[in-house]
Chain A
Amino acid sequence: MSLVGARVLRKEDPNLITGNGQFVDDLQPTGCTSMVFVRSTEAHAKIRSIDTAEALALPGVLAVWTSANIAQLANCPGGLPGLDQPLLAKDVVRFVGEGVAVVVATDRYIAADAAELIIVDYEPLPAVASLSAAMAPGAVVLHEVLGGNTVHFQDFENPLDDVFAAAPRTASLHIVNNRCAPTPIEPNVCLADWGRSGLTLWAAFQAPHHLRNTIAQYFGIPQDSTRVVAPDVGGGFGAKINFVPEFFLTALLSKEVGRPVKYTQTRSECLVAMLHGRAQEHDASIAFDNDGRILALKLTVTQDQGAYPNGTGMGLPVLTTAMAAGCYRIPAVAISWRNVVTNTTPVAAYRGAGRPEASYTIERLIDLIADETGVDPVEVRRRNFIPVDAFPYATHSPLAMYDSGNFAGALDELLKYVKYDELKKEQEKRRQDPAAKLLGIGFASWLEIAGFGPPGSLEAFGHLASWESAQVRIQPDGSAIIFTGASPHGQGTVTTYAQIAADELGIDFDRISVKHGDTAVVPQGIGTMGSRAVAVGGEGVKTASGRVYENAKRIAAHLLEASAEDIIIEDEKFFVKGTPARSVPWSEVAWKSFQPLELPGGMEPGALDSTVFQQVPNFSFPSGAYCCVVEIDRETGAVNIVNMYLVDDCGTVINPLLVEGQVHGGVAQGIAQALFEHMLYDPSGVPRTSTLMDYLVPAASDLPGYVTGRTNTPNPSNTLGAKGVGESGSVGAPPAVVNAVVDALSHLGVKHIDMPVTPIKVWNILEGAK
């Protein structure tokens, strides 16, 4: 029986449900010390002086460092040359939360006490805490070298003025895609031990080899004695692939004090120091005919990069504009983008990274077309979908060559669950009844780019390469270990890879282990991000397992004195086809594979060990159709999600249980962005949502149940057919939710509401309409 596609319980769980997981903060090596930051309380200021005397005098304090202690060192890797963040602020701070000083002490309480004793004398400068403030004439400049606050501007190649002028109808929206804090429940944690035999860094990270490569390069030390370990990692959501000063400072200070140094971020630090996501504003225009057929799309993305732009942040508007047309055949698309610095926390990847922003805007525009033309939103989608026979489909962007999809099929499947006509009638009835809650129905036909990626794609973000490694090693007893460069942090990769390998090798699932997250154990690797672990890494496991299996068959054939083509496997036994009496168990094949006298001619010991650097020719394009039904309380403006219907097409499903989990989790974050979460700054750059008291991560009582369905158009870029599913929910949910809210209020003339759709925003609309 094939395990691929089966609802298999996770190998990961027994440790995690008994408290035997091993997260970085759980490690306490002998002599371990604690590092605590002093972080800027100013959004923009000159540092006049830092007084560390009292802190240094506190018993138990081993070191207090400011930028003066590391004056010779380069800035934090990952930034743009000349605009990069110092490990500790030099002379100027540019956002609240920027590190100014660090203390290392024998325990975390003493370190925190000492940090409180450090006095930083700031000379405040004017701050720009929003895109409009940063771009206003005469705005204070964050980085002198830029001369302004725009880092990069990519203009339209052709602004399509003639198309828009000639179009029967046009509509425009200014859309704010709200800044979110990724907020994994485990904040950033790292532990460095730099002794005579080299540097070991344990880090809550999504790409340990990437960090190993970078940290060795940064310090000019060889990679053979630089080890990065990402043990159990408590969620990442894209925020744990960024190079942040904490990693480099713990390493340096470990060398300085001669002891292991651990840094455990507090939640309040995490909300301002862990890089944020989204933070875009869109100016979008659409041209269409009276039947709702789209003629042209024009989009300018303005990306808030925060105080220090980085490679990933700069890539976000590239991905957003590449995916701007969504599931639709649009004859003319014009894109433009601008990157701007502000006195806020830097911005980078957050689950979906650039694609939720794209899908949100095009799906809002589709509903705007419906509103303008009177054509039903479902019908507008149908009239504009790229048809099934048009794949591979070349878009306006060379990045996005859509490989496969069936957008109409997913919408058809969705409508099997949604009683659309009944809901529309109910909506109308309730509008007539002032005591009834308003009802809204919102659709999103979404598409994203995932499975990162073809050669060159991740290199553009500073990674070594875009393949993923997989090593399949048969042990002498016939059990198997898989080593992967993917670095899971909740995805269940240990389970899915064992499923894939079990099918390919014919070895029992319970006798397959998966090792990851340690550069001293896994030969090389790239990491887990961009919904790539199955589509690229899983394909690698399949390829390597297939090679091992072929060699195992040759050995079995030799032992059975048969031809390898005639060998089949069942219940971990190799048989000669048609003669079930002649068999040799996997364990014997494995054992003898190490014995030269037992091997067929030309085969060397070690033949049942294969390492693959799996490449893929294209990105993948997961898609789907979601529908959200909301109720709105007319008295309070509160939005309640009544139903959330989710049809996903992620290609082949390895484990339906885990796919379901990924969809739910992504959708929950999408709903959170739509209704609750917003990293807010006041005009002076002070964050207003820097604890979990203010930043509203939803609880179980805030979220609905989900109805899920599935369609399947296999990914043609790998033999598994899998597309990836980690980010899908966060791409599809926000437009479905906001479209539902706007639909509920459309009789009041509402065309758009910016996220998060809070009760006060809705209440103001309802009051205004009275």
Chain B
Amino acid sequence: MTIRTSITVNSKETSREVEARTLLVHYLREELSLTGTHVGCDTSNCGACTVLLDGEAVKSCTVLAAQVHDCNITTIEGAAQADGSFSSVQEGFRQEHGLQCGYCTPGMIMASTALLAENPNPSEEEIRHALEGNLCRCTGYEMIVNAVRWAAEHPSFTSGGAK
């Protein structure tokens, strides 16, 4: 069974006839070629596939594309600022070495972005709690915490255009 689904992804209208069972993450990766969103597990534990659904962090491996018809999705490809500058969260990850292999990173950045939208000045403990649905195997997390703190301390960061 197929179904027509229309989703606004990174501020662009998209519309596809997809199998009803198509996961949002596969819609993004395979229909739209937005491969920055990764898959790391099959039990919703790792968070590598985290995207923003109407501003809220969700795991796109656990959402059907058809469920988000008429909704707004932001992926890592849409995380940068309008002028192409890295967002303060992206820049924080760079400044504080918050990534190594980079596989969990898009999900971490999206989850951190959602956290800061809700709580612009989180404590270390609040950051660790907010990111407990996102697993990283490389960093041991301290530098991810530092990255989010960097972003909180530089809310109006701009690198002055596309990098």
Given the known inter-chain contacts A17-B90, A490-B102, please indicate yes or no for A692 contacting B139, CB distance below 8 A. no
User: Secondary structure of the A side of the interface?
Assistant: loop
A590 to chain B, nearest CB (A): 26
B156 within 8 A of A: no
List residues of chain B with CB within 8 A of the CB of A16: 99, 102, 105
List residues of chain A with CB within 8 A of the CB of B35: 19, 22-23, 25-26
Contact at A14–B94, with CB atoms within 8 Å?
Answer: yes
Closest to A657 in B: B97
Docked Cα-Cα span, A527 to B73, in Å, equals 39
B93 within 8 A of A: yes
Contact at A17–B43, with CB atoms within 8 Å?
Answer: no
A315 to chain B, nearest CB (A): 23
List residues of chain B with CB within 8 A of the CB of A18: 36, 76-77, 79-80, 86, 90
Given the known inter-chain contacts A16-B99, A185-B101, A692-B41, please indicate yes or no for A699 contacting B79, CB distance below 8 A. no
B75 within 8 A of A: yes
A734 to chain B, nearest CB (A): 14
Contact at B140–A19, with CB atoms within 8 Å?
Answer: no
Given the known inter-chain contacts A14-B163, A699-B133, please indicate yes or no for A691 contacting B42, CB distance below 8 A. yes
Which of A146-154, A227-235, A334-342, A376-384 lines the interface with chain B?
A: A227-235
- Residues 167-218 of A at the B interface (beta carbon under 8 Å): 183-187
Contact at B42–A17, with CB atoms within 8 Å?
Answer: no
Interface size class, chain A = 35 or more
Docked Cα-Cα span, A183 to B46, in Å, equals 11
Given the known inter-chain contacts A664-B139, A705-B142, please indicate yes or no for A185 contacting B40, CB distance below 8 A. yes
List residues of chain B with CB within 8 A of the CB of A703: 140-142
CB contacts between A and B, total, < 8 Å: 188
Contact at A706–B142, with CB atoms within 8 Å?
Answer: yes
List residues of chain A with CB within 8 A of the CB of B67: none
Docked Cα-Cα span, A17 to B33, in Å, equals 17
List residues of chain B with CB within 8 A of the CB of A20: 36
Contact at A186–B101, with CB atoms within 8 Å?
Answer: yes
Contact at B39–A25, with CB atoms within 8 Å?
Answer: yes
Binary interface encoding of chain B residues 111-153 relative to chain A, with 1 for a CB under 8 A from any of its CBs, else 0:
0000000000000100111011111111111111100000000
- Residues 375-427 of A at the B interface (beta carbon under 8 Å): none
User: Secondary structure of the B side of the interface?
Assistant: loop
A166 within 8 A of B: no
Given the known inter-chain contacts A13-B93, A109-B21, A267-B40, please indicate yes or no for A697 contacting B103, CB distance below 8 A. no
B34 within 8 A of A: yes
Given the known inter-chain contacts A184-B137, A664-B142, A693-B45, please indicate yes or no for A19 contacting B40, CB distance below 8 A. no
List residues of chain B with CB within 8 A of the CB of A489: 101
Given the known inter-chain contacts A109-B19, A668-B140, please indicate yes or no for A17 contacting B101, CB distance below 8 A. no
Docked Cα-Cα span, A668 to B104, in Å, equals 16
Closest to B131 in A: A700
Docked Cα-Cα span, A439 to B48, in Å, equals 36
Docked Cα-Cα span, A183 to B104, in Å, equals 12
Contact at A697–B43, with CB atoms within 8 Å?
Answer: no
B95 within 8 A of A: yes
Docked Cα-Cα span, A22 to B80, in Å, equals 18
B83 to chain A, nearest CB (A): 14
Docked Cα-Cα span, A22 to B101, in Å, equals 11
List residues of chain B with CB within 8 A of the CB of A25: 29, 35, 38-39
List residues of chain B with CB within 8 A of the CB of A23: 35, 38, 103
Given the known inter-chain contacts A109-B19, A700-B141, please indicate yes or no for A661 contacting B100, CB distance below 8 A. yes
- Could you list which residues of chain A lie within 8 angstroms of chain B, going by C-beta atoms? 9-10, 12-23, 25-26, 28, 108-109, 183-187, 232-235, 237, 264, 266-268, 489-492, 657-658, 660-661, 664-669, 691-693, 697, 699-703, 705-706, 729
Can you list 19 A-B pairs with a CB-CB distance of less than 8 A?
A: A10-B97, A18-B36, A18-B77, A19-B35, A23-B103, A28-B30, A108-B26, A185-B38, A234-B40, A234-B104, A235-B138, A490-B138, A492-B100, A664-B139, A664-B143, A697-B135, A699-B135, A700-B127, A701-B132
Q: A17-B105, A234-B40, A661-B97 are in contact. List 9 more A-B contacts (CB 8 A).
A: A9-B94, A14-B163, A17-B109, A25-B38, A26-B29, A185-B136, A490-B138, A668-B140, A699-B133
